Chains A and B, each alone.
Chain A
């Protein structure tokens, strides 16, 4: 009899611990911070990719100028945002046969939010849509509109003030980008820098 009481007690204690753990995870939703203070109101974050590549096995597309404009805010303690502009210029492929005739981000703004996976802060961008038209008489994709769609999660490095997107971060955040009916690889390293009210202030996510 005493044994069963003890067992119930242990189970209840375990339940309490589990609830506390989940509560901690929920409260750990990261927020945008400038100089360690949570952002109030909105801020505009802009930048250009240090490097970026989109790969369908056998064909990689790179843009020399991959810029972005992101409006961020905190809502109920959680970082949210919208990607409002993604100008893409000077895009090429690693193929001698295929050139990029046109590439443009569509369906903007792309909603975004912050999340934590395995203690690392992430930015999740949803509703991504980028149609790419390739050209080249010898290019098998010549004339075919390849549309990249889906969502992408990138890990945020607070000390370097960068966001990194690659196959590992997409997998870790449960996101994926698709083109031609299959998952594709996208890698990119982006600086995170405020451009409006918090210019030159250290941006962090926690």
Chain B
């Protein structure tokens, strides 16, 4: 009897959960046309004034001696509010996380050279050599690099005026780089929540410390849709080559004390002036009110 009642309760709870999911799904599915890009914008939050969907389609991340080309799309989505925070002569708006929880898509990018590219076989401790041999024999040599947010989305900052004016910091993001390979374990990161990499991306021109030299971003080709309710910037380029990165940590699981230093030696100097981020893609921005209105108009 008890067992039967428990099963009935579980079935009822499951039904409620499924119904809730169904409702959530249909609530999101109401956006139409050009507004569908903003499906995961928290436009129901009254503090959100603009919705953003930034798709990085190409570019590169240079970390010390290693260059990782961006070959697969990375999406930053969510919303932002009023520009109220003044910093470095610009006004920044607070960011609000995407409603589906994926503010920055975790897109693995292939690290050229794979495992040997970051842990060369020569002159390594015997244990490391043996493990690498094992991974090679089992074709587990591919290494991915995944960009992740190092802090909550609310720590991202946007300056619309800097973005529009091709000057200063348009987008500030705390990030970490996840190096992934079975040999490296699950916790091989460059940057962390306590020691993040801070990207201050600009569509203007950077002024990095040497040896890097100034590079320039691009505002892109702008077009307004829906009578000025949506802005699309194609072929834009956000750049920063003045950021510093902490050493890699947690690489190699229990052998981290051996493997992390090898990776750091391979990366070389990662202080400011040795790293570069170039993100090329398409930026879509919409008025949150217009998105909400589109949602209401299409029941």
Smallest CB gap from A149: residue in B: B165
Q: Does A141 contact B (CB under 8 A)?
A: yes
Q: How far is the CA of A85 from the CA of B49 in the complex (A)?
A: 36
Chain A positions within 8 Å of B285 at CB level: 140
Measured between C-beta atoms, what is the minimum distance from A130 to chain B in Å? 14
The residue from A93, A140, A146 contacting B230, defined by CB atoms under 8 A apart: A140
Residues of chain A touching chain B, judged by Cβ–Cβ distance below 8 Å, are 56-59, 93-98, 134, 136-147, 180-182
Chain A positions within 8 Å of B290 at CB level: 97, 138, 140
Smallest CB gap from A145: residue in B: B161
Residues of chain B touching chain A, judged by Cβ–Cβ distance below 8 Å, are 49-50, 82-83, 160-161, 164-166, 203, 218-231, 285-287, 289-290, 293
Measured between C-beta atoms, what is the minimum distance from B73 to chain A in Å? 23
Smallest CB gap from B82: residue in A: A143
Chain A positions within 8 Å of B222 at CB level: 56-57, 180-182
Q: A58-B228, A140-B230, A181-B220 given as contacts; is B287 within 8 A of A146 (CB)?
A: no
Chain B positions within 8 Å of A59 at CB level: 224, 228
Q: How far is the CA of A97 from the CA of B50 in the complex (A)?
A: 14
The residue from A58, A144, A182 contacting B224, defined by CB atoms under 8 A apart: A58
Q: Contact: A140 with B220, CB < 8 Å?
A: no
Measured between C-beta atoms, what is the minimum distance from B199 to chain A in Å? 20
Chain B positions within 8 Å of A143 at CB level: 49, 82-83, 160
Measured between C-beta atoms, what is the minimum distance from B264 to chain A in Å? 38
Q: Contact: A145 with B164, CB < 8 Å?
A: yes
Measured between C-beta atoms, what is the minimum distance from A107 to chain B in Å? 15
Chain B positions within 8 Å of A57 at CB level: 222-224
Measured between C-beta atoms, what is the minimum distance from B24 to chain A in Å? 25
Measured between C-beta atoms, what is the minimum distance from A178 to chain B in Å? 9
Measured between C-beta atoms, what is the minimum distance from B216 to chain A in Å? 11
Q: Contact: A144 with B220, CB < 8 Å?
A: no
The 7 closest A-B pairs by CB, nearest first: A181-B219, A58-B224, A95-B228, A95-B227, A98-B228, A138-B290, A59-B224
Smallest CB gap from A146: residue in B: B164
Chain B positions within 8 Å of A146 at CB level: 164
Smallest CB gap from A55: residue in B: B224
Q: Contact: B287 with A137, CB < 8 Å?
A: yes
Chain A positions within 8 Å of B223 at CB level: 56-58
A-B contact pairs, 24 of them (CB 8 A): A56-B222, A58-B223, A59-B224, A59-B228, A95-B224, A95-B228, A136-B228, A137-B289, A138-B229, A138-B287, A138-B290, A139-B229, A139-B287, A140-B229, A140-B231, A140-B290, A141-B228, A142-B49, A144-B164, A145-B161, A145-B165, A147-B164, A181-B220, A181-B222
Measured between C-beta atoms, what is the minimum distance from B160 to chain A in Å? 5
